Amino acid sequence: MKKLLIVLTLFSVASAKSQGFPGFPGFGGSSEPEKSSGGAAGGGEAKPPAAGSADIVIPEIGTHYDDPAKAHYEPEYVNQDTNIVNQQGIVIARPYLRAEDVKYRKRVWRVIDTRQKMNKCWVWPRQPVRQIFWELATKGLAKAYRTDSFNILITPEDILRITADIKTVSKQREGSEDPDDLVDSTFPVYFTWEEINKFEIMEDWVFDFKHGELKPIIIGIAPIREIDKGGGLVVQSKPYWLRMDDCRPTLAKSEVFNRTNDAMRLNWDQYMNLHRMFDSYIVKTSEWNDQYIYDQPDYKQNGLAALLRAEEFKNQMFIWEHDLWEY
């Protein structure tokens, strides 16, 4: 019986060696998977990308102006059977204003800095309004314009392209043991909404003769992109402008954090257009030279003087409204 088992074992070993089963070292196979002579898919050996070459690749986005505004706030946890009425999503129309009743109008440009204490809710992690204004333009959900004249449209693809940069870094050449053997490598860096710290708004201060009221109307808003050039030089640019009326349906579906009462939250349309609960400073008014204050020769190298000049504009409007009445 033992002789029969030995003969069968030798026969199976010889058969496996002749057929070359993979995965059995010493029996015609190999412990490593078989390498194709063609290399990468499509044939030929795969080559690494050439150093110093990088492209800004922007996917096709298109426009979605007719898409309904999506809810962009925390889900409601209150029982729907209660008598609490949720006003989120409702755009409150501005009071009707006849052109004949506009006896005074002044256009003003302001900057909103989200790093100020008064504007802390702009960077609320659960509902960052920076993301709303960025995605409205870069996802084609609202019409974006190149300037505050609102006469030239800009596509979402163009916004992503002009805000992207090509960065160059030096790294050790692959396969080299010399740490001084460096080669330049470039790669694209895409701008994101987390990098937005400032917004610029354009508004009209209008005196309603019928109701005797001086009130502001926000016309447009633009994110400010800050580029650090080194040496303390920071260059600011505005990639696009949005009409406020185009943003209001989405803003009305987005909540503002209330640090004292979660049951009494405003939406962003109420926060910005009705109650104006943000802090800002004036950077430009409608003047003959059409220049920002910090670009004018008297204030170009003096930031404090530019801020004091902005306060003068605010005081002038206050005095103008105050002088309309007699006491």
Q: What is the DSSP string of 254-283?
A: SB---SS-TTSPPBHHIIIIIS-----EEE
Tokens of 18: 């002749």
Q: Give residue 281's pLDDT.
A: 93
The tens digit of pLDDT for each residue in 99-122 reads: 888 888 899 999 999 999 999 889
What is the share, in percent, of the chain residues with pLDDT greater than 90?
Answer: 31
CB 165 within 8 A of CB 135: no
What is the share, in percent, of the chain residues with pLDDT greater than 70?
Answer: 77
Q: Tell me: pLDDT of 241 over 90.
A: yes
Res. 9 pLDDT band, cuts 50 70 90? low
Across residues 189-208, what is the average pLDDT?
92
291 occurs within a structural domain: no
220 occurs within a structural domain: yes
Smallest CA-to-CA distance from 281 within 146, 34, 116, 103 is with: 116
21 occurs within a structural domain: no
The tens digit of pLDDT for each residue in 292-307 reads: 988 888 888 788 888 8
253: containing domain:
105-164+194-286
Among 143-147, 215-219, 241-245, 290-294, the minimum mean pLDDT is found in: 290-294
Q: Give residue 32's pLDDT.
A: 44
CB 291 within 8 A of CB 298: no
88 occurs within a structural domain: no
265 occurs within a structural domain: yes
9 occurs within a structural domain: no
The tens digit of pLDDT for each residue in 249-272 reads: 999 888 888 888 887 888 899 999
Q: Give residue 6's pLDDT.
A: 55
The tens digit of pLDDT for each residue in 20-66 reads: 444 444 434 444 444 444 443 344 444 444 445 567 888 888 888 87
Q: Give residue 12's pLDDT.
A: 54
Place of tokens 């053997």: 181
Domain count, the chain: 1
Q: Give residue 36's pLDDT.
A: 40
DSSP 8-state code for residue 93: P
Q: Tell me: pLDDT of 18 over 90.
A: no
111 occurs within a structural domain: yes
The model scores a pTM over 0.75: no
Tokens of 242: 């949005």
Torsion-angle region of residue 230: left (phi > 0), alpha (psi -120 to 50) or beta? left
Residue 132's identity, in one-letter code, is I
- The strand pairing partners of 242, in sequence order, are 144, 221
CB 17 within 8 A of CB 9: no
299 occurs within a structural domain: no
**DSSP assignment string, 30-80:** -SSPPPPTT-STTSS---PPPTT------------TTSPPPP-SPPP-S-T
CB 254 within 8 A of CB 248: no
Q: Could you give the maximum distance between any two Cα atoms of the chain, in Å?
A: 127
How far is the first Cα of the chain from the last one, in angstroms, to the nearest whole number? 127
Across residues 75-94, what is the average pLDDT?
60
Mean pLDDT of the chain: 79
Q: How far apart are CA 26 and CA 32, in angstroms?
A: 13
Q: Give residue 142's pLDDT.
A: 93
